[in-house]
Amino acid sequence: MSQTLIRINGEEVLLDEEGFLIHPESWSEAVAESFALEDGLPQLQEVHWRIINILREYYLANGRAPLNSELKKATGMTISQIEASFPKGIRRGARRLAGLPNPKSCG
């Protein structure tokens, strides 16, 4: 697995080959904002932060990302609405911005 070391706001952050955090504990709002900019979101809005925070809280409490049904219930949004909020969707967009592990490395 190839890794890349980047610097965000003076902090070193280690990424996997697809740009996901290797160490979820190195996440910060600055990391999310930097990733969002890379994904074509110049500014994270309230809806983005709500989804990001739900993903993070669920992951920290359960050690895994929420299932789509759990994410729908927690956000009060449809999966289509959540997907449309992030240019790269839920798995490659919202999860990455929330600092969750790469979906392909889970399980």
Catalytic residues: 106
CA atoms within 13 A on the CB side of 47: 10
Alpha-carbon gap, residue 52 to 44, rounded angstroms? 10
Alpha-carbon gap, residue 42 to 55, rounded angstroms? 21
Q: Are 58 and 74 in contact (CB under 8 A)?
A: yes
